[in-house]
Structure 1
Amino acid sequence: MDDPPDVATLIDGLVADNEGARKYAVFKLQSLLSDPSFADAFIEGDGLYALRQAVLETTGNMQAYAFGSLDALLELDMGWDIVDGAIIEKAVSLAVTHPLVNIVRNVLTLLVLIVSRPLSNSRRQSADVFGFQAIKPALDKHPGFLDSLVQRLSASDHTLCANALQLINALMRDAVIHGGEHEWPKFIKRLQDLGVIGGVGMLMRGDTASDPSTSLAAAILEFQGLTKVLLRKWREVRVNVELPEHKRALKTIHLLSNPPPLALDAHGEPHAKGSKKHHPEKWRRLGFETESPAWEFDETGYLGMMDLVDYARRNEDAYRNILMEQSMQAREQRCPIARAALSVTLILYEHFEIEDASETEAYGGGGHVRSVSARGGRLDSQANVDKLYRPLLLQWGRLHTAAVNAFMRMWKAAGAELEDFFKIEEVVRIVVERIVGAANRKTDVGKVEDELRSVTLETARRWQMAGMDEVYDDAWGPHLVQVREQLHQESLQFMKEQRIRCLLQGSWFPTSSPGVGASWRYVRLSRNKRWLHYQDFSTKGSHEPAAADLAEKLDLNMVTSVDSNVSASDKPLVNGLANSSSETLKEANGHDALQASQQTTNTKVTILGTLAKPPKLSLPSSTHPNNDADEESILLELFPQTSAAASEWLDGLLMLLNQQPITKDTTRLVEMMEDWGVRLRMLNLRWEDVDWEALEARVTGTKVVERAVPSREGLGGEYYYGMAEA
């Protein structure tokens, strides 16, 4: 490998008459000058002015190399002595007009370094003006510079895009910090009018910026952080109606509302033109609380005023129609549009975490994006980039408008009144979190607007309840798991007792499959729970048979398994309850119980076992195991009339044999009691506060006897008793 040329040779090459020597010198310099020791030697050898001459007088690739060499020096915070008006004007001129990409890339980097330098920890000794003010004279000569800069964001060269965005970021930073209270908003608006939001948004959603190793990814993230800085600064600006700009904004809100005629004088005529009098509800009509609306922007600042003006402009017709429609309603039923718009501003402000300084603190202290991108190692993966990019943040105005319209729809759908404002506000907050929060970096803002436009109040309330469950789970999760487990076991024990009670009560069953005969079988569990007594009858009796009439019996010690197709039954529960007595059937269906019981059914419960008695009353599994003594055979078949009766007998037999219930009916009831138990625990109710007779009736399906409402002498008719929530 050839040794690099010495400093003196390169300096001589910069001023040589031979074009090849000059080109070789600037080509080598752009890589060598990144070494601080070489840069010191270059400056000591009076190379700066030779480099300045190359920057100003060369063309084509040679000029690109010259600018690259100067950039390398400035990166080390060296060589600033030759950066003057001529260099800056040359750079701006080339950035606007030159077609060669490598020249434009390097001149944009130079301008980034110039604009960013006041924000860096430089050891600058001169009193020269840097920052935006340094390039402003050149920009005045080239008024199309900013327009061309924004257009560079759509260039096919990714490095050129990154350099252009870096310069935009540097200009925004400098404008915010040094631009003055009234100057920086004008500059930012000018950039926005040129389409910078659309250009950066396109880069965010594109595949080019998904590579976290590129300078473009870091520049995009910096622009996003600066957007948060701008939103925060706009909020910090207090609304002052004496300022012409703020006064114009309020006037715009008023005029776009299609205001009614001026207040009438004593003769019933409008006040003369030029009169200071105005409608007595000029501002309250628009949704403000008073006729002095400035203080109502205290929380949102000038950001809220901007959003309200933007909403009125984007929805001029709808804005007027809503106000006209609401003017016909009672005051309490009107949705205060201005107040709703300011509320949505705060909702978006919180959603995008504008106050979070972690994303923007790296950009306030200066240094161009190359130094920023190396901080913290945040752009370390594809997933990290997808998570950090928030292109919807750049569409603040459109999101605000869509969310305000959603607020109005929710208000109307809920039939809300003024006292319900905070409830609707919370619903809208949840809607924004769900819809905007679920969008990824490739989601188009139009899709988000459509979802905000179509979401219903019912959906929003369902999300609200789900959110409450998540909060409870986070706060009470470990405790609730323990409580639920305890209540689950208690509920299972309760259902076991209830199901076995159904077996002890006994039931009538047809003796064959549908379409075969009409004989009946009555089955009842013995009091000692060891036998199933049953007997076949030619007709179904109106009374329960006596124990002496049940000649047949089945020893439950012989039972090895219980099988059923109850889960496939399509017959619904009677009245939604787990009881199949003739009285319940009669009350639920409104016709004679005997006629109801004659219906055929496909549901079957099969009791299987062996003739040899096992040593214990137990059932290894609900399948058909092979025992050592004898093969399993059918001991008894039951044909329940309903799925409820099948659930009682199938799960009752299983639970009697210390097995878990398997039917949906029983599982549902266990879960219902478990859920009730959790709610009672959370409400901290006393045992005596619960109507346990009604609870048991709800589970078993028996009729609840209504009791008189307790009262005391001396109480008025409006006295009532209610269970207070915790």
Structure 2
Amino acid sequence: MSRCYRLLNAESRSMSAGTSPETRTPLTTSSAVNGGSAVPLVPTNTVTTATGLTVRTRIDPVLTVDDVVRQLCINLKIKEPPGNFALRDETDELVTNDNLRRKIKTKVNLKLVNAPSREARETAEKLRLRDDATTLKMTLFTLQKYIREEQFAQAFINSAGLSDLIDVIFGAHGNTLAYALTAMQNLMELDYGWATLDDAFIFQVVQILSSPQSLINVCRPATAILKKLVEADPMSAPGTQLAASSSRSPPTLPAGSVYRYGFSVVFEQMRKGHGFLETVISRLGSADTAMAQHSMMLINSLLAHASDTRWEEFIAELEKLNVRKAVVRLMSSHTIEDLTSCILDFQANFIRVTYRKKTTLVDTEADASHATAVKAIWASSKLTESVDESGQVMKWRLLGFDSEDIEHEFNEGVGVLGLECLRKFIEMDPDFSKIIQEQLSRPPARRCPVAKASNDIVEMLSEHWAIFAPGYSTSTTFQPFFLDFYKVHSLATHFFIRMWGESGAAYGDFTRVAALVRSQAKVALRSENVRPWHEVEHDFRECEYRSVRERQMKELEQDDDLLSKIPVRNLRAKLYKESFEFVRQQRIQCLMQGAWFVNALPQNSTGSRDSTRRPNRPWRFMRLDPGLKYLHYVDSAMKFAVRSGLEDLPDRIEVAAISEIATGTCAAPPHVLRDQNDLPPTFPPCSLADQIAPDQSRWADWTDGLNMLRRDGGHVSSKETAGFVQALTEIGLKIKLLDLSGEMVEIPSGLVAGPPPSNTDFFFSELM
């Protein structure tokens, strides 16, 4: 049976001439139903009830959803309170006051269903009863969809549904467990309601992930849940960013805050789960791209949020499990663009790891691992202490250090990173003791200072890969050689020793040989995203001194020797950080200014792109709010002048919900963009938005701006942004050097600190 209704609000009900207010009616029935002679009304929407009754209605767009539901209940003679019902579209999306007008205009078919609060209470009751496996599975399948809605979630939580869902997770398996975990994952997109999750629940999720037999559709939501818990640390709570920048102490949080977990809480349960990290890292090689992506995202989240107290233990475990090697394999095997952003995030995170190691001081008394490494280095040399001509003990100088203060030798510039590199160099070369013996057989002035060369190589590679500060990475391509840092260091150190011998160098030639190695490293490590590893090995192992020297001389004719001096390199590192932060702020300002995009068509499950459809509202204006928490937007059939502020932008996306910024994963609708080469940034894995930027500049602004905005991001995706950072750095450096070169000031290659004061009877004068 079909009926046609017209739903109007009080202010807009039409009145014919001579009709009194008392005879107004909110319902106009077409002649197709009445048999009367009225002009038929064109149906706008079709509404289907739970009993299968279908009615055609014309809904006034100024009505609220409550008004529409109430009038439908009256006209359909439904005796239950209207508050028990709601409207959904064919995809089960809840109709709200925000989207009602759009659904009316696009003539969406609607359904009159249980209100979210009522549906939530019934769902919680079904979880509690668990009558049979089929009913439970269907209940969870529905729950995972509806739990995203705030009205449903609030009622579900108030009905003690969360504890019932947790009980299911502890006992379910297969698809039932997958649905339950997905429901929990979707619930955790809210910033409330799951603060009662305890260590037992976290350990249960860890155990699920630790099992190699767990299904892929189970592992995906379980991984996402752990990632969310890692990121829910007190320092990430809304409104605590300013406090966090000035103090490392955790802020005081209100009761019931979900920001009570974090890395330490999750890591404690990870340590109990047998083989957890090993299993997660092994899934990076999964044939299922989404599984590899989720695993990569969890590792990145752990790296970005690792606490100071557990940092060394966690990084050591990752290194032991060869996570870098797994990511390098992923670089060469992945075919889906979604993984690119994850891998670039990993690179940026490991630049932070490398920088932290480089700036961590070696302390053999306070850190047992440092003492063990130092002892292993000395034992591998197979040397015995001796005495020099002045009667002083010689031990570390025999290996090529400048002094016997082993901690000072590393802490002067390379820290724990230098210690680890020297130890790895020794482990990779079983003939290390022979190398040292060979050098000691030469006259003192002709000996290659192997240990000093190792530290210099660490400095050189740190400069090459811009390891200047935590949180800054301008690489837009894969860097597999960087992830093989120790191996590259070993090759370059061997090259240094060989060049020292082939050039007949003496002690005073250290800087010259170091410059030679620096020149060769630029050649060997060029285009690392496409060069095979065997070519790198060839460049370091096979190139002869004469050819390297000739090329270096040509380079010196073009380059300024001033730029290679250590103080200038340090100045460049400082300016690089300032330039990166400047560009970051500029990109975020672009987001706050807002821009128009095209609503793209995402790829379907088969990987093809449906370019035959065109959205009814192909244009979208997006703007970041001043609090940096939401992307506000509006969809439109055409561009219009958007006012400042957020009044014209009714919809929004939470920035915290953006886990990835992928590119090249969607297509433009037909006849919207002329330039089919425009690049679309999207937000997977469950896409929050698929947008196409109108030009390369706006694509760079937004793709990199969003990446820089994410706490676990930090990398850039476009060559434009990377180029801006580099250009600002070089311009700033040249301006600074003009002040010195114009005055003909001599810049030394290094600075030697004088002896410490004999007492504390001194003060620093303020120079005016």
Q: TM-score, structure 1 length as denominator? A: 0.55
Give 1:431 shift: 0.9
Change (3 A) 1:410 1:251: same
Check conservation: 1:108, 1:163, Cα contact below 8 A. Answer: yes
Check conservation: 1:11, 1:50, Cα contact below 8 A. Answer: no
**Correspondence for 1:194:** 321
Q: Secondary structure at the match of 2:255?
A: coil
User: What amino acid sits opposite 1:156 in the alignment?
Assistant: A
The counterpart of 2:270, out of the listed 128, 139, 160, is 139
**Correspondence for 1:207:** 334
Q: Secondary structure at the match of 2:218?
A: helix
RMSD of aligned alpha carbons: 3.0
Q: Secondary structure at the match of 2:487?
A: helix
The counterpart of 1:170, out of the listed 301, 314, 332, is 301
In the alignment, is residue 426 of structure 1 matched against residue 521 of structure 2?
Answer: no
The counterpart of 1:6, out of the listed 115, 118, 126, is 115
The counterpart of 1:288, out of the listed 372, 376, 401, is 401
User: What amino acid sits opposite 1:325 in the alignment?
Assistant: E
**Correspondence for 2:231:** 116
**Correspondence for 2:103:** none
Check conservation: 1:237, 1:301, Cα contact below 8 A. Answer: yes
Give 1:259 shift: 0.3
Q: Which whole-Å deviations, capped at 9, do the CAs of 1:453-480 have from their partners, x for residues lacking one?
A: 11222232233234334437999xxxxx
Q: What CA distance in whole angstroms lies between the structure 2 residues aligned with 1:94 and 1:473?
A: 58
User: What amino acid sits opposite 1:407 in the alignment?
Assistant: F
**Correspondence for 1:438:** 527
Check conservation: 1:54, 1:66, Cα contact below 8 A. Answer: yes
Check conservation: 2:124, 2:156, Cα contact below 8 A. Answer: no
Matches within 5 A, 1:586-605: none
Check conservation: 2:352, 2:469, Cα contact below 8 A. Answer: no
Change (3 A) 1:359 1:29: farther
Q: What CA distance in whole angstroms lies between the structure 1 residues aligned with 2:514 and 2:140?
A: 63
Give 1:294 shift: 2.3
Check conservation: 2:147, 2:153, Cα contact below 8 A. Answer: yes
Q: Secondary structure at the match of 2:365?
A: coil
Aligned residues between the structures: 429
Give 1:219 shift: 2.2
User: What amino acid sits opposite 1:245 in the alignment?
Assistant: S
Give 1:120 shift: 2.6
**Correspondence for 1:227:** 350
Q: Secondary structure at the match of 2:394?
A: coil
Change (3 A) 1:231 1:352: same
Matches within 5 A, 1:238-637: 238-243=361-366, 244-260=368-384, 280-297=393-410, 298-317=412-431, 319-355=432-468, 357=470, 359=472, 387-440=476-529, 442-471=530-559
The counterpart of 1:125, out of the listed 241, 255, 277, is 255
Q: Which whole-Å deviations, capped at 9, do the CAs of 1:93-133 have from their partners, x for residues lacking one?
A: 21122431101111111111111211533576348852233
Change (3 A) 1:358 1:25: same
Matches within 5 A, 1:698-713: none
Which blocks of at least 5 consecutive residues in structure 2 are unaligned? Answer: 1-89, 91-109, 239-252, 564-768
When structure 1 is superposed on structure 2, of 3-12 and 84-93 the one drifting more is 3-12
Check conservation: 2:123, 2:143, Cα contact below 8 A. Answer: no
Check conservation: 1:114, 1:130, Cα contact below 8 A. Answer: yes
Q: What CA distance in whole angstroms lies between the structure 2 residues aligned with 1:104 and 1:301?
A: 39
**Correspondence for 1:39:** 153
Structure with bigger gyration radius: 1
User: What amino acid sits opposite 1:449 in the alignment?
Assistant: E
User: What amino acid sits opposite 1:165 in the alignment?
Assistant: M
Q: What CA distance in whole angstroms lies between the structure 1 residues aligned with 2:271 and 2:354?
A: 28
Q: Which whole-Å deviations, capped at 9, do the CAs of 1:626-682 have from their partners, x for residues lacking one?
A: xxxxxxxxxxxxxxxxxxxxxxxxxxxxxxxxxxxxxxxxxxxxxxxxxxxxxxxxx
In the alignment, is residue 102 of structure 1 matched against residue 217 of structure 2?
Answer: yes
Q: Which whole-Å deviations, capped at 9, do the CAs of 1:535-573 have from their partners, x for residues lacking one?
A: xxxxxxxxxxxxxxxxxxxxxxxxxxxxxxxxxxxxxxx
Give 1:390 shift: 0.9
Change (3 A) 1:208 1:15: farther
Which blocks of at least 5 consecutive residues in structure 1 are unaligned? Answer: 265-277, 361-377, 379-383, 476-726
Give 1:446 shift: 4.1
Q: Secondary structure at the match of 2:393?
A: coil
Q: What CA distance in whole angstroms lies between the structure 1 residues aligned with 2:327 and 2:481?
A: 11
More helix by share: 1
Q: What CA distance in whole angstroms lies between the structure 1 residues aligned with 2:481 and 2:405?
A: 34
Change (3 A) 1:474 1:146: closer
Q: What CA distance in whole angstroms lies between the structure 2 residues aligned with 1:295 and 1:186?
A: 24
Q: TM-score, structure 2 length as denominator? A: 0.52
**Correspondence for 1:91:** 205
Question: Sequence identity of aligned pairs in percent?
Answer: 28
Check conservation: 2:206, 2:269, Cα contact below 8 A. Answer: yes
Q: What CA distance in whole angstroms lies between the structure 2 residues aligned with 1:207 and 1:474?
A: 43
Q: Secondary structure at the match of 1:125?
A: coil
Check conservation: 1:14, 1:25, Cα contact below 8 A. Answer: no
Q: Which whole-Å deviations, capped at 9, do the CAs of 1:241-277 have from their partners, x for residues lacking one?
A: 433332332222221111047669xxxxxxxxxxxxx
Q: Secondary structure at the match of 1:259?
A: coil
User: What amino acid sits opposite 1:12 in the alignment?
Assistant: E
In the alignment, is residue 148 of structure 1 matched against residue 300 of structure 2?
Answer: no
Q: Which whole-Å deviations, capped at 9, do the CAs of 1:209-242 have from their partners, x for residues lacking one?
A: 5x1xx1x322222211111111111111112343
